[in-house]
Homo-oligomer: A and B are copies of this chain.
Amino acid sequence: MSGSIDSRKAAILRAVVDEYVKGAEPVGSSHVARVAGMQVSPATIRNEMNVLEHEGYLVQPHTSAGRIPTDKGYRYYVDTFVDETQNSDVMQFKSVEEFFTKAHGALAEMFSDTSRLLTKLTNYAAVVTGPSPETSLIRSIQLVSLDPKRVLLLMVDSKGAVEKKTLDLASEASESDLESASNFLTKKLRGVPLGSLGDADSSSGDLQFDQLCTLSLDALKELKGEAESVYIEGASKVASAFDAVDTVRSVLATLEQHFLVVSLIRDVLSKGQKVAIGSELGIEPLAECSVVVSPYIVEGEKVGSIGLVGPTRMNYPKVLAAVNLVSTGLGKRLSEG
């Protein structure tokens, strides 16, 4: 396995990817010769392309057609030619800026709007995962009576997000019970991360009061384990990206399984990657898809991520730029509060 790619082979591979992304058709040696601006004949390029095929970077759909990149080819392209730090498209930059200065509203809306922004920028399906509840700090606890034996627990966290849970009481609680328990819990738990809640330690002797506190604590612990929020937009873009209706269906069906998408994104990020291509995803129905992700950072911490799912044949530089732009924009916006 030589695998050595000299600069000319690299240039050829690059041209094939660029042109195939642009034209959606296998690209042949003369096409490369014309477009890549290199001073060699198509025959020479043919030889090189032959080698690239044997090394697994290109394939021919059938004997007498041009080549298209393999997943490995795309991988080389992304690793070698895509400069993350660069964003050529000024329009894109401006519209993202504008979006985030105008953005407002609750967290949930923020996320779903961001997801919509991303899908609009790239024309692929976009995913935004909300901050996992584990990392947020408790800011305030409120207990609100629903009916005599049921109480709604409201928890506001340090980011202004609200989580709620219904408590079923063993015995009735008065308004004043609720109020004192609310105050006590808020005082006691303010600033505590949801992830590190201990057991109830105090017993005041007041049964009603203790019941409320215990139940609340249990509810809070449950909250932290709850599925993190996911916002997926742009299903229609999937239908535009593939022309086999079967592919569309299976990709959409996969995207509907939110937990799958979330763990997919998590996997990619945990490897320190921003891009996962086709078979690298390890999910059969997404074999023709690539995923581009980026965490967003609020107050120095990676609290969530954004990503998007498109065909392997995508414009990686543009898409990566968009994802990076949106993730930093979102991070900044959320850091402001």
Contact = CB atoms under 8 A, between A and B. Distances in A.
Copies in the complex: 2
A160 B156 contact: no
A164 interface: yes
Contacts of A152: 156, 160, 162
A249 interface: yes
Chain A contact residues (Cβ within 8 angstroms of B): what range? 35 or more
Interface of A: 106, 139-140, 142, 144-147, 150, 152, 154, 156, 160, 162, 164-166, 233-236, 238-240, 242-245, 248-250, 252-253, 255-256, 337
Contacts of A252: 235-236, 238-239
A240 B251 CA distance: 12
A286 B248 CA distance: 19
Which 4 pairs, one residue from A and one from B, show the smallest C-beta to C-beta distance?
A236-B252, A239-B249, A235-B235, A236-B253
Nearest to A125: B235
B256 A233 contact: yes
Nearest to A245: B245
Contacts of A240: 249
19 contacts: A139-B146, A140-B145, A142-B142, A150-B337, A152-B160, A152-B162, A154-B154, A233-B256, A234-B256, A235-B256, A236-B250, A236-B252, A238-B252, A239-B239, A239-B249, A243-B245, A244-B245, A245-B245, A245-B248
Contacts of A248: 239, 245, 248
